[in-house]
Amino acid sequence: MGPLILNTRPKSDSQELEAALLERGYRMLSAPMLRIEFPSHADGLDLVGVQALIFTSANGVRAFAKQCDKRHYPVLCVGDATARMARQAGFADIHSADGDIEDLARLIGDQIDPAKGGLFHPAARKVAGDLGSLLKDRGFNIRRQTVYDATPSDHLPNDVITAISAHHIDAVLFFSPRTAESFVKLIERHKLEKDLVGTSAICLSSAVKDRLGVLTWHKTEVAKHPTQEYLLSALENAFA
């Protein structure tokens, strides 16, 4: 049997990841650390004067698609997974930064003329990084609107608690600082800190790693580039 991996991503973001893990021979447990909710917007989305859309997550694409049927806008995505979701939602003019928020800011600077109109950013209530600050000196008007909530989980599944207590989990995957923060709080609430010493933490970025520093891990691996494929490579490195 392959190593047992704990996936902490929201369920809506996990289909491709879980398929990739199974293909590589891993076993899986799931403990989503964020619950994604799509509230309705009675006033709609403010798209007046917008020349393009910015998506920093697949859930931003899902939320926009639920609220608006317009697909003629060019879209700029933080990474390839978000770009694939945009394509599935019906967009055609898609650009991917294949990286993090700073890569996306560079892509916007390269692809968009700020004089031609604003940029609409459908986002969560809390976001990682501030595109507006990164681009404010370039004359961009970025209009961010909350279209979904990512609420931290308030529990660990019983099978996950049992597996951690028995030291059966070989590695935990973390894709965001908020996911890591939620996990740490629940581990401390259940007094499981000492049960992770044989478990590796696999992090999408250094910012994620920083949130996990209060826990003692067997190994901590950070993806060389903030994408799922590189995170899976970091997972493989943990067992090399």
pLDDT at 64: 94
- Per-residue burial over 109-144, b = 16 or more CB atoms within 10 Å of its CB, e = otherwise: eeebebeeebbbbbbbeebbeebeebbeeeebebbb
Would you say 163 and 27 are in contact if contact means Cβ atoms under 8 Å apart? no
**Rounded to two decimals, what is the model's pTM?**
0.84
pLDDT at 42: 52
Task: Compute the Cα dihedral for 104, 20, 160, 196 and give only its sign.
Answer: negative
Domains and CATH numbers, the chain: 4-33+153-238 (3.40.50.10090), 37-151 (3.40.50.10090)
Q: What are phi and psi of 200, to 5 degrees?
A: -100, 145
What are the average pLDDT values for consecutive 10-residue runs of the chain, which has 240 residues? 94 88 96 89 80 94 92 94 94 93 91 93 78 79 89 94 97 94 97 96 94 95 92 94
CA 71/CA 90 separation, integer angstroms: 6
pLDDT at 61: 95
pLDDT in tens, 57-95: 999 999 999 989 999 999 999 988 899 999 999 999 999
- At position 206, the amino acid (one-letter code) is S
